[in-house]
Amino acid sequence: MDITDIASEAEEMFLEQALAAQLAAHGTCTEVSATHCEYCGEAIPEARRVAVPGVVLCVPCKQHVERMGGR
């Protein structure tokens, strides 16, 4: 086993830990999702509200925010 193999294994381990932490944080979110988008006022589909706890934007508005650099 060379240094590249060791580095690859370490990277994989850190990535798995980071993903596990994200999943744990996402699963314990207690924020209530909005029923209507804060920007445009359109209804946010229930599937999105369930999938993303604490969601406040509809998909088109979220995409717009991301394109604008999070503003």
Closest among 44, 47, 53, 49 to 25, alpha carbons compared: 53
61 pLDDT band (50/70/90 cuts)?
very high
pLDDT digits (tens, 9 = 90+) for 15-60: 778 766 766 666 666 678 999 999 999 999 999 988 888 899 999 9
Distance CA(31)–CA(27), nearest Å, equals 11
For the question of whether the overall pTM of this predicted structure is more than 0.75, the answer is: no
71 pLDDT band (50/70/90 cuts)?
low
Full DSSP string of the chain: --HHHHHHHHHHHHHHHHHHHHHHHHHT--PPPPSB-TTT-PBPPHHHHHHSTT--S-HHHHHHHHHTT--
